[in-house]
Structure 1
Amino acid sequence: MSWTIVQTQDLATCHALRRAVFIEEQGVSEADEVDGRDANALHVLACVDGVPMGCARILIEGSTAKIGRVCVLRNGRGTGLGAAIIKTCLEVARQHKGVTTAKLGAQTHALAFYERLGFVAFGPLYDDAGIPHRDMERPL
């Protein structure tokens, strides 16, 4: 298995991956998933053996890179691909002058995954699209 993870303009593929994971698998409403912020975001696409398998987006907000919409198709989970996507997001964020912090809203079942990547949870538990989340951040 070999993968490539690159910054992309291919929003159609990213949307298809997000639809499969968030809407079809996790039951998130389309209204919650499609928030109108993709045009202002940077997007990262992961392919395994040439097949799209995961993606994420990054919103630059002042000195913060907000990583979101991180997803990996079911058959790509547990392979290290998700961690590689996050590491690529951090590299992309570091390329933007003045960005010093990465932040994300983690589904609570994924807190340990993000902690292994250097993120620290803060603030209260909250509901996002019917799924419990906590905010997390780490320095770049």
Structure 2
Amino acid sequence: MTVQIATTRDIDACLALRRTVFIEEQQVPEADEIDDLDEDALHILATDAGRPVGSARIILLDDTAKIGRVCVLKDQRGTGLGAALIRAALDAARDHAGVTRAKLGSQEYAIPFYEKLGFVAYGPVYLDAGIRHRDMELTL
């Protein structure tokens, strides 16, 4: 595996990955997945031999980097790619002056994954696109 992870302006590649993972696999309604925040967000794209295999986006809000839309194609799961995407997103967040915290909304089943990366869950469970989530944060 020759995975490259970097920030990208190729929003279409990120959207295609999100369509596969969220809309097709998880049955998230397109209206809930596609929003008007992508143009202003930072995007992280993972490619394997040039093929897009994972992505994440970061919305910067004052001192907080909100990481979201984290997805990895099914054939790449369990390889460490998801953790590498999150580490790349955290590095990108740290590159912005004044950003001192990362936040994300984790699907409930993925909380242990994010805890291993240093995130701490807080607040109640809530539904996002009909899927149980919980907010998590990490001090940068």
The answer to whether TM tops 0.5 is: yes
TM-score (norm 1): 0.99
Q: In 2, Cα distance between the equivalents of 1:118 and 1:109?
A: 16
1:29-78 deviations in Å (ceiling 9; x for gaps): 00000111101100000011221100000000000000000000000000
1:107-140 CA deviation, whole Å, 9 max, x = no partner?
A: 0010000000000000000000010000000011
Query: What residue is the counterpart of 2:11 in the other structure?
Result: 11
Query: What secondary structure is seen at the aligned counterpart in 2 of 1:112?
Result: helix
Instruction: Supply the distance in 2 between the matched residues of 1:48 and 1:78 (Cα, whole angstroms).
Output: 15
Per the alignment, residue 108 of structure 1 pairs with 108
Aligned length: 140
Question: CA offsets, 1:66-120, max 9 Å, x none?
Answer: 0000000000000000000000000000000000000000000100000000000
| TM-score, structure 2 normalization | 0.99
* Rounded Cα–Cα distance in structure 2 between residues aligned with 1:98 and 1:43: 19
Displacement over 3 Å in runs of 4+: none
Gaps of 5+ in 1: none
Root mean square deviation, CA, Å: 0.5
Identity of aligned residues (%): 61
Q: Which runs of 5+ in 2 are unaligned?
A: none
